[in-house]
């Protein structure tokens, strides 16, 4: 396993208990037999957290490397498949719950991803969207994006709260729960997880304070 993958796994394990607790609260009531899709599953953070709470979880991601890591320690009831979040390889209404965690800011067309998530959710089912938020001040948002892109070239754009709500609304999805949570980040840890070293790391480190805060938006929405 690469250092980067190890850092990701360690962070995923550290965040696991908090993630389970928040999901249990935000998604209550769950029947326990839901079929769930984790879009942009990466190494499986959301899938692993939901697996004990539901019937089965399918994770889909564009990276074979991350999928292999996700499969390595997958809890019972989880499967992982290759696919594009903007053209999901599943039929209409195939899932009771469809979620994505920290994915929308990595895709060029987030509106297509939300539309695809809505398509594969059954009528009466729910979507969960979780992502770091952009700032309402567009100049501050550009600055945040510059830092995030320098850290990880696959970063595209942090969406402000209003954009995420707009994409949900455009698909007739009705928000039933929403939380905006401030997260503290240790810069050096954050650069470790990105696998940054040497001169590139020093350059990116100059773009952020040693400890900084970001806002995470959590949205649960129902498909009528």
DSSP E strands, 68-173: 78-82, 95-101, 121-132
CB of 146 to ligand SAM, least distance (A): 17
CB of 61 to ligand SAM, least distance (A): 5
C-alpha torsion 129→133→137→141, nearest 10: -120
Q: Is the CB of residue 32 less than 8 Å from the CB of residue 55?
A: yes
d(C-alpha 25, C-alpha 30), whole Å = 10
**Which residue's C-beta sits nearest to ligand SAM?**
42
CB of 46 to ligand SAM, least distance (A): 6
One residue of 4, 22, 35, 102 binding ligand SAM per CB under 6 A? 102
d(C-alpha 62, C-alpha 154), whole Å = 12
Letters for 124-163 (x = contact with ligand SAM by CB under 6 A, - = none) are ----------------------------------------
Q: Map residue 198 onto helix, strand or coil.
A: helix
Nearer to ligand SAM, 87 or 139 (CB): 87
Nearest to 54 by CA among 76, 72, 82: 76
Which range, of 25-33, 61-69, 171-179, 203-211, touches ligand SAM by CB under 6 A?
61-69
One residue of 36, 51, 78, 85 binding ligand SAM per CB under 6 A? 85
Nearer to ligand SAM, 70 or 168 (CB): 70
Q: Map residue 217 onto helix, strand or coil.
A: strand
Which spans of this chain sit near ligand SAM (rule: CB under 6 A)? 40-42, 45-46, 61-63, 66, 84-86, 101-103, 106-107
């Amino acid at each position: 396993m690469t250092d980067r993958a190890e850092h990701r796994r360690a962070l995923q394990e550290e965040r696991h208990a908090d993630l389970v607790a928040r999901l249990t609260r935000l998604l209550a009531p769950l029947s326990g037999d839901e079929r769930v899709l984790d879009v942009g599953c990466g190494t499986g953070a959301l899938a692993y957290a939901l697996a004990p709470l539901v019937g089965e979880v399918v994770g889909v991601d564009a990276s074979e490397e991350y999928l292999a890591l996700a499969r390595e320690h997958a809890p019972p009831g989880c499967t992982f498949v290759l696919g594009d979040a903007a053209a999901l390889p599943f039929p209409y209404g195939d899932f009771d719950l469809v979620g994505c965690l920290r994915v929308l800011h990595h895709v060029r067309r987030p509106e297509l991803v939300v539309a695809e998530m809505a398509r594969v959710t059954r009528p009466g089912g729910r979507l969960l969207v979780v992502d770091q938020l952009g700032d309402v001040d567009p100049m501050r948002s550009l600055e945040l994006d510059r830092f995030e892109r320098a850290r990880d070239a696959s970063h595209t754009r942090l969406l402000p709260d209003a954009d995420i709500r707009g994409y949900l609304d455009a698909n007739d999805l009705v928000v039933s729960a929403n939380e905006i949570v401030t997260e503290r980040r240790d810069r050096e840890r954050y650069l470790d997880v990105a696998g940054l070293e040497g001169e590139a790391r020093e350059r990116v480190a100059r773009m952020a304070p040693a400890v900084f805060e970001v806002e995470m938006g959590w949205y649960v929405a129902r498909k009528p």
